[in-house]
Amino acid sequence: MTGLRYSTTGPGMALLTAVFTPFDEAGELALDTVAKQADALLAWGSPAAFVGGTAGEGAALSTAERMALVERWCEVAAGRLDVIVHVGHASLTEARQLAGHAERVGAKAISAVPPYFHRPETVDALVDACAVITDAAPTLPFTYYHIPSITGVHLRASDVLLAARERIPSFAGVKFAANDMVDLQRCLHLAGEQEIFVGVAKLVLAAWQWGARAAIGSVYNFAGPLFRQMLDDAARGELAKAQEYQLRAQQVIDAAARSGGELTGFKALGSVLGVDCGPCRPPLPSLGPEQVAVLRAEVARLGFGVDGGR
């Protein structure tokens, strides 16, 4: 097992993109869009696509759809881009099927949230659940996806990290999508071989200051180059300039969140500033053209996304 490391080549930070899932107006998968998404990532240097996660509305897809989507990503990414497949599911049985499939079709790695209907109550139960999944794809590095606001599983990610690396040979790290400073700091302190992927876009710069070397997020679908620039500024010592940008990015995120929720707003921004991936699936709302225009104008006032999507 080689782990899953992206950030060894310089002072910066690897920005992996949690890609949206493209739907047509009827809400069906629009797989033709995937090649455009892959090209867009390559264009600014995102080293991997995280497929079927929260931003990818993986939980809203059927298992068959998730597999079709992953196959398409593996095809278009082959040799150019890593594909990390989110295989988390309320049913571990389904999650295993998704994991085995990912391994067969050439994914680079897998990741999973814990079961989120019946939930693990202890760290041991959680790690056992992860092991059920990883046993179905033992050759792929596995990243635990910590997002308690959605899963309702509030066990500390740093405790999961400590237990999982003893128990799961393919354990490669944590995608940390929570707001708890103490837990993130402890993850960063304790991570040795493992990678901690920052999953909160508002905190990328701050986490970099704490030593984080990689992030996974959906904001990079439309603002990747800008975050890239921000981190380059920081790495060159221009911290004030970088902080100024981070603060503006937070305002953009707040604006998107006010437009029907962060995910709906991000997907709408992605459609106008990046590759159009269509509406969200129910129960998530989608924005109408006027709402998108209002959001775009608000974001433009923040100096964001003018000039051809930049």
Please state the closest distance from residue 30 (CB atom) to a copy of itself, in A.
Answer: 15
- Restricted to residues 247-306, the positions that interact with a copy of itself (CB under 8 A) are 247, 250, 261, 263, 281-285
Please state the closest distance from residue 185 (CB atom) to a copy of itself, in A.
Answer: 5
Judged by CB under 8 A, does residue 182 bind a copy of itself?
Answer: yes
Q: How many residues bind a copy of itself (CB under 8 A)?
A: 56
| Binding track, positions 7-36, relative to a copy of itself; x by CB under 8 A | ------------------------------
Judged by CB under 8 A, does residue 186 bind a copy of itself?
Answer: yes
**Bridge partners (DSSP) listed for residue 116:** none
Phi, psi of 171, deg, nearest 5: -65, 125
Using a 10 angstrom Cβ sphere, with 0-12 exposed, 13-18 middle and 19 or more buried, the burial of residue 225 is middle
* Angle at CA of residue 144, ends 267 and 62, nearest 5°: 50
Q: In this structure, what token pair is assigned to residue 137?
A: 């794809």
**Amino acid at position 43, single letter:** A
> Taking contact as CB under 8 A, which single stretch among the options 123-131, 160-168, 217-225, 269-277 is the one that binds a copy of itself?
123-131
Nearer Cβ to a copy of itself (81/102): 102
Q: In this structure, what token pair is assigned to residue 141?
A: 């590095």
- Restricted to residues 206-245, the positions that interact with a copy of itself (CB under 8 A) are 206, 209-210, 243
**Amino acid at position 141, single letter:** P
Query: Hey, which residues are catalytic here?
Result: 145, 175
**Bridge partners (DSSP) listed for residue 48:** 82
The distance of Cα 175 from the centroid of its chain, to the nearest Å, equals 8
Q: Is the dihedral of CA 86, 284, 276, 298 positive or negative?
A: negative
Nearer Cβ to a copy of itself (38/245): 245
- Restricted to residues 141-170, the positions that interact with a copy of itself (CB under 8 A) are 150-152
For helices 262-273 and 239-258, the axis angle rounded to 10 degrees is: 110
In the complex, which residues of this chain contact a copy of itself (CB under 8 A)?
54, 57, 59-63, 65, 89-94, 97, 114-121, 125-126, 128-129, 132, 150-152, 179-182, 184-186, 189, 200, 202-203, 206, 209-210, 243, 246-247, 250, 261, 263, 281-285
